[in-house]
Amino acid sequence: MRALLTDLRLAWLLTRGSDRREWWRAGLTACGAALATAIGLAVVALLSLDAFHSVSFGSGLFDSPGDRRNVSLALGLLLIPVLGFLGQCARIGAVHRDRRLAALRLAGAGPWQVRRIAALESGLACLAGAVVATAVAVPLLPRATAWTGVVVVAVPVVGAAVSAVALRRVVADPLGRLRRTRPVRGPGRLSAAATRLLAVTLAGLALTPVFGSPVSFGLGPVTVLVLAALVSLVAVWLSGASSRQLGEGFAAGTSRPALLIAAERMREDPWSTARTHAALLLVTVVGSGFAGVRQILLADLADMRRKGRLGAHMAYYTTGIDLTAVAILLAFALVLTALAVGTAESLAVRRRGLAAQAAAGVPHSVLARALLLETALPLFPAIAVAGLGGTAISFWYGADIARHTDVPVPFAALLVPVGVYVACVLAAATSLPLLRRSVRPGELRYA
């Protein structure tokens, strides 16, 4: 306990001593924690309402306990990209604190203690964000319960735990360097098992019309979530595998400087992008599937309203659809921000090598194009697979609904991966100003 208090005191002193360039990373961490706190408080508020409590907004969507539980579950799923975002912030924060972490190593701190101190720094930033979010949200809640305090305490604890996991492979060298040790091979067994399971699942769904009626989409959201997770794992594996193959192919067959630099980076560490893109690919699968399902649902609801077969007011259904769209867009914004942070982290890790390249005469424009290619090349096949998987889910839903009524072909699902890909390249481009600072000759003095 005394060691933990000592590390917490050191984390507080390091946080107070942060320079101006580091405060924006703490601000990003606090914003992520504030969002997690707001989601947790919203879930607590919905679940604490009485069974017959009537909510003045939402067109009756929040009046039923069953509907409130479903909304709470959807809100809880938003915590997945939020926690991923906090992990990215912790990793880039550790990279920029390498000199202070090295000083701790010289003073006798072990590698795990240094990582724990860095994680506690993230926990303090999460605490600040949680307190601010609670101060803003509590007056808006219908009632405050004991679970409100649990959320405020849990967010910094979970944030520090996520940061510790994200920093588990970060090693601070006593001489002032910071390196990241990663496994040479990617998650082969997990991806292979996911690929086989996905193939068996899809084959079973495809063969059900031969032996009987198609599998009903209403068999449960669990089936859809399992399919989305399997498609995401396959897409993550494809991102890493294609990064290695493309890197080796371009390194051997191109003479373009930017492509050569990007190819060498992809060949050196192909699985770094795969880990960064995991949550992004999951959101792409869900977003593609939802876009197609939304198109079918709206057409089906309009047809039922014309026939007078709606069980509730039209706004009741459209409100739920719109809230789901807002949740997916929020998750997409989070994973895009995490992608931008991950790209900045990559620049921070390689800033000495980039400075050496610039000092050797490599133009800034070549380094900028190489940075964008590192993101764009491995992402293309992965997002294509994720988008096709989500589109297949929407087509499956359309086939189930088509047994009862005519539905449009959900081509809207095909537009989502295109938009995601363009947005990812633009998110990676936001780190280009940091590239100009990373290639300053002053970085070479620490090489």
Tell me how crowded residue 446 is: count the other CB atoms within 10 A of its CB: 14
Domain that holds residue 435: 188-446
Q: Are residues 196 and 142 in the same domain?
A: no
Q: Are residues 68 and 213 in the same domain?
A: no
Q: Are residues 111 and 205 in the same domain?
A: no
Q: Are residues 345 and 430 in the same domain?
A: yes
The span from the CA of 259 to the CA of 243, in Å, is 13
> How many domains are there within the chain?
2
Q: Are residues 176 and 192 in the same domain?
A: no
φ/ψ of 214, rounded to 5, equals -60, 150
Whose structure tokens read 């590239």? 435
Q: Are residues 204 and 254 in the same domain?
A: yes
Q: Are residues 338 and 234 in the same domain?
A: yes
The span from the CA of 70 to the CA of 63, in Å, is 12
- The last residue of one of the domains, among 180, 213, 244, is 180
Whose structure tokens read 């390689």? 350
Q: Are residues 273 and 355 in the same domain?
A: yes
Tell me how crowded residue 112 is: count the other CB atoms within 10 A of its CB: 12
Contact 247, 214 (CB under 8 A): no
What's the angle, vertex CA 369, arms to CA 366 and CA 370, rounded to 5? Answer: 85
- The last residue of one of the domains, among 152, 180, 208, is 180
In the chain, the amino acid numbered 193 is A
Q: Could you report the per-residue pLDDT of 195-254, keeping only the tens digit for each?
A: 566 666 655 555 554 444 444 444 455 666 667 777 777 777 777 777 778 878 887 777
Q: Are residues 169 and 199 in the same domain?
A: no
Q: Are residues 176 and 194 in the same domain?
A: no
Contact 398, 296 (CB under 8 A): yes
- The last residue of one of the domains, among 180, 203, 223, is 180
Whose structure tokens read 């859809």? 224
Question: What is the per-residue pLDDT for 209?
Answer: 47
Q: Could you report the per-residue pLDDT of 261-293, keeping only the tens digit for each?
A: 888 888 877 776 666 777 788 888 888 888 888
CB burial string 7-27: b at 16+ within 10 A, e below: bbebbeebbeebeeebeebbe
CA 319 to chain centre: 25
Q: Which two tokens stand for residue 411?
A: 């081509």
The span from the CA of 218 to the CA of 125, in Å, is 42
Q: Are residues 6 and 29 in the same domain?
A: yes
Q: Are residues 159 and 207 in the same domain?
A: no
Q: Which two tokens stand for residue 357?
A: 């390249």
Question: pLDDT 10s per residue in the chain (447 long)?
Answer: 677 777 777 777 777 666 666 677 778 888 888 988 988 888 888 877 766 666 656 566 666 777 777 778 778 878 878 887 787 777 665 555 666 666 777 777 777 777 777 778 888 888 889 999 988 888 877 666 777 888 888 988 888 888 777 766 655 555 554 444 444 455 555 555 655 666 666 555 555 544 444 444 444 556 666 677 777 777 777 777 777 788 788 877 777 888 888 888 888 777 766 667 777 888 888 888 888 888 888 887 787 777 777 766 777 778 878 888 888 888 888 888 888 887 877 777 777 788 888 888 888 889 889 888 888 888 888 888 888 888 888 887 777 676 666 777 778 888 999 999 999 999 989 888 888 877 777 666 654
